[in-house]
Amino acid sequence: MIMTDKPKNWWQRLDGPLKVGLVFAALGIILTIVGILRDPTTPVTAWSLGVGSLISGLTWGLVSWAIATAAVEVENDVNQAEAEPPANTPTDEPK
């Protein structure tokens, strides 16, 4: 059997919460651009597209990254607590 060590691309090197943050940042940017293009009262300028995309992308990305990171930390804590042996608790009460 021949094993080849294929180098990982940039996406494979990222951890899970960061991937979640980037995906939601991209969704926020896309939804902002669609919203600006669909609203007839919003001027479609590079400034409105840039600032709207920056604000929504950062907000969606940061919040989703924080939630995903918290979920991973909780899972790690639960797994660590389950792996630890139970504390020595006396079964007999002293008389």
67 occurs within a structural domain = yes
73 occurs within a structural domain = yes
How far apart are the C-alpha atoms of 18 and 21, rounded to whole Å?
5
88 occurs within a structural domain = no
How far apart are the C-alpha atoms of 90 and 86, rounded to whole Å?
12
7 occurs within a structural domain = no
- Torsion, CA 70, CA 71, CA 76, CA 78, rounded to 10: 110
69 occurs within a structural domain = yes
pTM of the model: 0.74
Task: Specify the amino acid at residue 60.
Answer: W
Residue 53 domain boundaries:
46-77
39 occurs within a structural domain = no
Summarize pLDDT for 18-36 with one digit per residue, the tens: 999 999 999 999 999 999 9
Smallest CA-to-CA distance from 67 within 20, 23, 15 is with 20
Residue 61: strand, helix, or coil? helix
| Count of structural domains, the chain | 1
Summarize pLDDT for 42-60 with one digit per residue, the tens: 889 999 999 999 999 999 9
Task: Report the length, in residues, of the chain.
Answer: 95
